[in-house]
Amino acid sequence: MPEWLRLALVIAGKDLRAELRSRTAILSAVVFAALVLVVFNFARDPTALAAVDLAPSVLWVTFALAAMLALNRAFTIEQENAALDGLLLAPVPREALFAGKLLANLAFVGTVEAVTLPLFVLFFNVDLGAALPGIIGVTALATVGFVTVGTIFSAMAVRTRFAELMLPVLLLPFMVPPLIGAVQVTARLLAGRPLSEMLGWLRLLALYDLVFVILCALVFTAVVDE
Amino acid sequence: MPSSDGSRLLEATGLWRAYGRRQVLRDLDLAVAAGEAVAVAGPNGAGKTMLLRVLAGLARPDRGEVRLEGRPLRRDAPHVRRAVGLVSHQTLLYDDLTLHENLTFAARLYGLPTPAAAARAALDEAGLGPRADESPRRLSRGLAQRAAIARALLHRPRLLLLDEPFTALDAAASERLRAELGARRQQGLGIVLVTHQLAEAWEVATRIAVLVEGRWACNEALAGSLEGFLPRYQELIRA
């Protein structure tokens, strides 16, 4: 196994262990996601708009907002006792540190999404059926994109005085492209449309992932170094 | 004792660093040989902590360079950082992990061959073996400081940077730390020790440097008694 990958897994493992111990981020993100779904469920007029028409937007707004809560935790845990200094002092390439934090965040947000999806089906009475593998695929594709950007902004925001406020302000504009793509693909999947109708959006999501994974890994050093 | 060939473990030249609009370090040079311990004293706000952060590679100097064992700290960073241990104002430990998990994690970052065993040994050495499964947040300030020192020494660094390490330590723990630093220095460890407690520094250091407004007011081999130095120290920091 390459050394950078070993170090990334060590860092991700530490974050997961700390989160399993405290359950701060995952629990609050899951509760928050459930509350958002409840609010959307009761705020909708069922006579004016069918659940299936609103469902893709609701699903992705819920994923995005819940992810924001989970991402906030990524670097606030490093602020405790200046633990980030310990990481930066260790012989760990910054790219490995970024990869470790990204892997941990993907695991957090993926867990939140995995719990939220059945709740969404329950509240909106949507029959995922044959669309489920596609929904999982597009969720993975979009999540990689916004979690990558979220990881770098979380590292930036934590050095500011209002980290919890700064992260949404920085991240939401960058979340728009993957959210638009994910909503479009989800809507077509739920409507049973053929794959050819979604290829353009899927390419956009894949390109977004590729560009931002490379870009964020490159700028991470400048973000964490004083 | 200092290396007989005079080889420099740490060599910092022409360090300038601003914090906001304030110039914290001004054209500062510092050389530390293997087995040498430099005590850095000075009034609050003199730039001592920033100096340590620059020497550790945690802060980039605006001008100047830090070389460790002849290699530039910034360019060869991951390899060069392996040589450095840091005890800062904070413990660098995660409250959601136990002490043993914290040190095992650090041992894995440094690529030690048996991380869990190395962590256990370091905690035993620090007298924290019985508290290994507790969170750092449950420790007193003094015990947390001992854990932080154990973490810094875990990977056997060749240069140890300490920021007020005697703070909150009781007499026995201070004595143990002084003995530990003395023994490691004899084995060739280079030490830069930032402190206000000159009495402690006098027992550990081979050189005293006084930093005032980002410049050395003095940087010389330790000679004579602390009582003899104190009036001069007061004069230096007043000036």
Look up the ipTM and state it.
0.88
- Say yes or no for a CB contact (<8 Å) between A18 and B94: yes
Judge if pTM exceeds 0.80: yes
Mean pLDDT value of segment A45-66: 86
Token pair of A178, please?
């993957």
Quick check: A26 pLDDT over 90?
A: no
**A48 vs A65 pLDDT, higher one:** A65
Residue among A89, A92, A98 with most chain B CBs within 10 A, to mutate? A89
- Say yes or no for a CB contact (<8 Å) between B94 and A77: yes
Residue spans of chain B under pLDDT 70: 1-7, 75-76, 239
- Say yes or no for a CB contact (<8 Å) between B109 and A83: no
Per-residue model confidence (pLDDT) at position B76: 62
Q: Which of A10, A11, A90 sits opposite B81 (nearest CB)?
A: A90
Encode pLDDT of A144-181 as tens digits: 999 999 999 999 988 887 777 888 899 999 999 999 99
Question: Any CB–CB contact under 8 A between B46 and chain A?
Answer: no
Q: Which residues are CB-contacts of B97 (< 8 A; sequence separation ≥ 6)? A: A14, A17, A18, A21, B105, B135
Per-residue model confidence (pLDDT) at position B1: 43
Q: Which of A178, A185, A181 minimizes the C-alpha distance to A147?
A: A178
Among chain A residues, CA nearest to B78: A91
Per-residue model confidence (pLDDT) at position A207: 97
Distance CA(B97)–CA(B89), nearest Å, equals 20
Distance CA(B145)–CA(B91), nearest Å, equals 6
B109: distance to nearest CA of chain A, Å?
6
Encode pLDDT of A108-135 as tens digits: 999 999 999 999 998 888 888 888 999 9
Q: How many CB pairs under 8 A join A and B?
A: 76
Name chain B contacts of A225, Cβ cutoff 8 Å: 60
Q: Which residues are CB-contacts of A157 (< 8 A; sequence separation ≥ 6)? A: A72, A75, A163, A166, A167, A170
Q: Which of A19, A81, A89 sits opposite B58 (nearest CB)?
A: A89
